[in-house]
Structure 1
Amino acid sequence: MSTDPLAWETLERQVAYTCPGFDVVNESVRLPDGTETDFDYCSEPASVCILPFRPDDEVVCIEEWRQAVSRVSRGLPVGGIEPEDDDLEAGARRELAEETGHEADRLEPLVTVEPANGIADAVLHFFVAHGCRPTAEQRLDHNESIRVAPVELEALVDAVGTGEIRDGRTVLALSYYKLFGAGDHPNE
């Protein structure tokens, strides 16, 4: 239990709803002033997001239907860590292969973030993949509609700047990469 005076005390925790990919958790909590209330949040396994570069330095982007916003979204391969993944890098390699049919010569960690920690316990681990080459067919999940769409890095950055790309994970990966580059990890 945290000793920080801002900490909330969890009195009871239950899963209110579960589905493939995430749970909605309801907690009864006591606030620092003694008030008791409920707090709901989304709980999901850790995820990986990959910024994959081909040998020609094009980025292996994907275009995917996103039902929540009713449109095709251009972005980077992202997926949850599976129980059979030995570590985060193994999960990143698996997701890259499944969504794009590409394998990387080398992966390096970029940054780890909590993208929405006011409403979710999600942790997202970003990797930069170098030397990506197509080696197999995509192995998409039953609910994925994805096409591979390689693009020059600067064109991708420009698409973020104009608002054409709105996927938060892609915006964050490119922003961090452009600000700090790979191999520079001030928050680790």
Structure 2
Amino acid sequence: MDDSDDLAWETLGSAVDYTCPGFDVRRDEVRFPDGEADGFHYVDEPPAVVVLPLTPDGDAVVIDEWRQAVGRVNRGIPAGTMEPEDGDGGADGGASDATDPSDDAIERAAARELAEETGYEADSFERLTTVEPTNGMANAVHHHVLATGCEPTADRDLDHNESISVETVPYDDLLAAVVDDELRDGRAVTAVLWYELLHR
């Protein structure tokens, strides 16, 4: 962008105000283009993978999970943080260290999250897109992946704070839920729409 220098904020300092499993809350001291300075808080989290799993018959593997922030069970698809063993950075490296990991690293993370949350394994993986879903308030990067040929061959390994049930639904039903505003999970909506753009 030609005017990016005119819009840029200068970071004068940065510190973590609060840390917890999964993310930090960071405060940057910044100077705005007009010369005034202030603090800016945001969520700082490692990069994550989001997996759209399809069975050999073309059904979608979905999860229903309790989401405390909104106080309800939410339908979605497997997702989780990239880990250091995936390569190209990960949970210990911070989001800024692994915003563009290799396809192999993303595939390893996608395979792990798919198995842990659903008990399914896939024949193949394909990156759909990479997005910054909430870059007005979070340093978060989500790598969306299509997983095909998914079969229930693995044991689930849920985290202590995950309450998840697994179901398969016709893909067209999942798409209809997106179109009809019934699917509220933004990560799942993004994955379905990119699948439509690239493959349908």
| TM-score interval for Structure 1 and Structure 2 normalised by the shorter chain | over 0.9
What is the aligned counterpart of 2:161 among 143, 156, 161?
143
Shift of 1:174: 0.8
Q: 1:186: which partner in 2?
A: none
Q: 2:52: which partner in 1?
A: 51
Alignment of 1:124-163 (within 5 A): 124-163=142-181
What is the aligned counterpart of 2:114 among 96, 99, 103?
96
What is the aligned counterpart of 2:194 among 166, 172, 176?
176
SS at match of 1:112: strand
TM-score computed with the length of structure 2 as normaliser: 0.87
Query: Structure 2 CA distance, aligned partners of 1:98 and 1:36?
Result: 45
Shift of 1:112: 0.2
Q: Which amino acid aligns with 1:132?
A: C
Shift of 1:181: 2.8
Shift of 1:34: 0.6
CA RMSD of aligned residues (A): 1.2
Alignment of 1:1-188 (within 5 A): 4-86=5-87, 87-181=105-199
Q: Which amino acid aligns with 1:162?
A: D
Query: Structure 1 CA distance, aligned partners of 2:25 and 2:180?
Result: 34
Count of aligned pairs between the two proteins:
180
Query: Structure 2 CA distance, aligned partners of 1:76 and 1:178?
Result: 16
Query: Of Structure 1 and Structure 2, which has the larger fraction of its residues in helix?
Result: 2
Query: Structure 2 CA distance, aligned partners of 1:59 and 1:173?
Result: 12
Identify unmatched segments of 5+ residues in structure 2.
88-104
Shift of 1:179: 2.2
Shift of 1:41: 0.3
Query: Structure 1 CA distance, aligned partners of 2:64 and 2:109?
Result: 20
Shift of 1:78: 0.6
Shift of 1:165: 1.1
Shift of 1:83: 1.4
Shift of 1:111: 0.2
Q: Percent of aligned pairs with the same residue?
A: 56
Shift of 1:160: 1.5
Identify unmatched segments of 5+ residues in structure 1.
183-188
Query: Structure 2 CA distance, aligned partners of 1:107 and 1:180?
Result: 14
Deviations 1:63-96 (A, max 9, x none): 1111111111111101000112131111111000
Deviations 1:119-159 (A, max 9, x none): 00100000000101111221000100111111111100111
Q: Which amino acid aligns with 1:54?
A: T
SS at match of 2:6: coil
Query: Structure 2 CA distance, aligned partners of 1:53 and 1:109?
Result: 14
Query: Structure 2 CA distance, aligned partners of 1:181 and 1:50?
Result: 15
